[in-house]
Chains A and B, each alone.
Chain A
């Protein structure tokens, strides 16, 4: 054995067994064998491979830990099993092939059953969605044309009265102006709703985007970059992903504008923190017990504003604002979902908003 290992007797004395093993066997020695000797005192029939001078030497060893008067000793004995190993190797290959075939067969049958089941569910869902979509389309048509029209007339009538009658008492003027601005807000909300609806059938224009630059550009466009009352942090290094640039930009515009509108004036500054990094996630969200790991870009967005989930009183105080914020958010969520991503929102009253966005690294 020493010849095969190319070591002299005096070299071998005092050297650890691990020293003569192949790297793979060293890992096994550390992760399995050593712990077992420690915990069980005795381990039998362990297969290890020595790194010989010319070739690897497979061995089968027994280990025994004994307490002697001199302390702890580990005794080890065994034999080389080169020939037996060759035969065993063939056996294992055949066994693995057989197991693989069995497993594939079992998986196929399981997959087929699942498929049939999913197809049935899918068919039912499809019908449901189809009928819902027809209904929805009707409703949106109504909003688009029928609702905008009286709203326009109402806005017109309000300003007509205000311009025709200069002698109206102040409180009436004030109330009429309020009615005018409520109507204008409602009209804007309808616009957002329509844009939201349009997005449903819109085909994405997918290309490579550099996220850091996109965020920077959006901040500049909104003129939030050299405002002393706003502090925005975002990633420094470039982050690449694929997506629809216009839509992703619109998403950040909505989020940043919301933060600005929903600012908590008790704070000295509006602080917005945007983080982004790569993350491996299970791409099955709705189906439980299914796993497929994919690369995502994970974006977290938080601010120190009021948060959108305000108490009822606050919501009533600024009803117009609250509604706009939420339609905007629904729009953002839809943008992300169009990218096969996920958007989650959390908000603590008085502590600001927290959004977690996951966008697939590669668009499909």
Chain B
């Protein structure tokens, strides 16, 4: 299995210290394009797409493997072992925060610190816990997922047109950064939004940074504060950035806060 091809791994820079940027639910590694240039000088940068997302090898997707976030965590571990990485700084957006957490619990020695952007340990409300969403809300999401055909043609076209030997035809298709296989994306949505990683939070003692956006409909303040409470070795930063994707909407603030955290780490 060619992991580099499977996860569409991109490596930039060749400094000693390594940062892995892991995209969240929706879209792919392109999401990091405004943030990574600031780190290219001092770090080796690893970007990738989870299997089933972006330009990964969709044939490597297994319903069983990716039926839990552990399967996605295995993607991260596979990449680390393939590239022989260690002391990795893991930056995860959204659901990737918990994926990184699981990877670091499994192989603690591979990671030096973890940075979570808009993390949530559980999205669905529970007794004594407010995740922000009810089950009905998430059914609504599945409905919207089912009826938006982003890059749908990209997945179906090669089958219909049988044009593998005429790649220029495929090029005519709409280039979409969030091209997704509808079946896989729907599964990813289910695995993401019905996951519960609250009990895992106590099992990590790496330095962690929690970046909490303002007015984040997906990961509201209480959710980020809960993670900060449960992880003793965590630092909490409330961002001015609004929404759920500060690395797209407010890249400079995101870069500054990550650098601030990494600087304090290197002084310790």
Contacts and interface: CB of A to CB of B under 8 A. Distances in A.
Interface of A: 18, 22-28, 30-32, 34-36, 38-40, 45-49, 85, 88, 92, 99, 277-282, 289-293
Given A39-B248, A40-B177, A291-B67, 18 more contacts: A23-B217, A24-B137, A24-B139, A24-B143, A25-B144, A26-B217, A30-B217, A30-B243, A31-B25, A35-B26, A38-B248, A39-B31, A92-B146, A99-B183, A280-B68, A282-B70, A291-B64, A293-B68
Given A30-B243, A34-B243, A293-B67, A49 B62 contact: no
Contact of A32 (B27, B143, B146): B27
Given A49-B140, A92-B146, A291-B64, A35 B70 contact: no
Interface residues of B, number: 48
Contacts of B143: 24, 49
Contacts of A28: 26, 141, 144-145, 148
B150 A36 contact: yes
Nearest to A290: B64
Contacts of B155: none
Contacts of B55: none
B149 A27 contact: no
A65 to B, nearest CB: 12
A37 B64 CA distance: 33
Interface in B91-107: 94, 105
B65 interface: yes
B16 interface: no
Contacts of A46: 148
B265 interface: no
Contacts, number: 116
A277 B27 contact: no
Nearest to B193: A27
A143 B145 CA distance: 67
Interface string B17-37: 000000011110011010000
B202 interface: yes
A167 to B, nearest CB: 62
B144 A31 contact: no
A136 to B, nearest CB: 35
Contacts of A292: 64
B144 A30 contact: no
A47 B94 contact: no
Contacts of A18: 217
B142 interface: yes
Contacts of B43: none
B140 A23 contact: yes
A34 B176 contact: no
Most-contacted residue by chain B among A88, A92, A278, A279 (CB, 10 A): A279
Contacts of A36: 27, 150, 176-178
Contacts of A23: 133-134, 137, 140-141, 217
A280 B195 CA distance: 12
Contacts of A280: 68, 70
14 contacts: A22-B137, A23-B140, A24-B137, A25-B140, A27-B218, A28-B144, A28-B145, A30-B217, A35-B177, A36-B27, A38-B245, A40-B176, A45-B149, A291-B65
A47 B133 CA distance: 21
B140 A24 contact: yes
Interface string B241-252: 001110011000
Interface in B24-75: 24-27, 30-31, 33, 62, 64-65, 67-68, 70-71
Contacts of B183: 99
Nearest to B249: A38
B15 interface: no
B147 interface: yes
B105 A279 contact: yes
Contacts of B202: 277
Interface in B127-167: 133-134, 137-150
Contacts of A38: 245, 248-249
Contacts of B24: 31
Kindly list the 4 A-B residue pairs having the minimum CB-CB distance in the complex, ordered from nearest. Answer: A24-B140, A31-B26, A24-B141, A23-B137
A18 B245 CA distance: 14
Contact of B178 (A35, A277, A281, A282): A35
B110 to A, nearest CB: 15
Contacts of A22: 137, 140
A135 to B, nearest CB: 38
Nearest to A107: B63
Of B64, B147, B183, most A-chain CB atoms within 10 Å? B147
A307 B147 CA distance: 59
